[in-house]
A = this chain, B = another copy of it.
Amino acid sequence: MKEYTVKKLAKMAGVSVRTLHHYDQIGLLKPSIRTDARYRVYGERELLRLQQILFYRELDFELKAIGNLLDSHNFDLVGALESQKQMLLSRRKRLDTLVATLDKTMLHLKNKTMMNPEELYEGLPKEQAAAWRMEAKENWPEQVAHAERELMRLSKADFKALQDGFKANVEQLAMMSHLDPAGSDVQAAIAQHYHYILRFWGKADDAAEAYRGLGDLYANDPRYTQVDGVPAETFGNFLQRAIHHYVDMQLR
List chain B residues, Cβ under 8 A from A12.
145
Q: 0/1 per residue, A1-17, Cβ < 8 Å to B?
A: 00000000001111100
Task: Decide yes or no whether A33 CB sits under 8 A from chain B.
Answer: no
In the complex the two chains form, is A102's CB within 8 Å of B59's CB? yes
Asked if A92 and B102 sit within 8 Å, CB to CB, the answer is no
Contact between A152 and B51 (Cβ–Cβ < 8 Å)?
yes
Which residues of B have CB within 8 Å of A109? 77-78, 81
Which of B13, B47, B81, B152 lies in contact with A102, CB distance below 8 A? B81
From residue A96, how far is it (CB to closest CB) to chain B in Å? 7
B98 and A58 contact, CB distance less than 8 A: yes
Closest residue of chain B to A202 (Cβ to Cβ) is B14
Q: Which A residues from 95 to 144 make CB contacts under 8 A with B?
A: 95-96, 98-99, 101-103, 105-106, 109, 117, 137, 141-144
Are B88 and A106 interface neighbours, CB within 8 A? no
Contact A153 B82 (CB under 8 A): no
A98 touches B59 (CB 8 A): yes
Is A54 an interface position by the 8 A CB rule? Answer: yes
Q: How far is the CA of A55 from the CA of B105 in the complex (A)?
A: 11
Residue A195 is within 8 A (CB to CB) of chain B in the complex: no
| Least distance between A22 CB and chain B CB atoms (Å) | 17
- List 13 additional contacts besides A11-B137, A14-B141, A89-B95; criterion CB under 8 Å: A14-B146, A15-B142, A15-B145, A47-B117, A51-B152, A54-B145, A55-B153, A58-B146, A59-B101, A78-B106, A81-B106, A85-B102, A88-B98
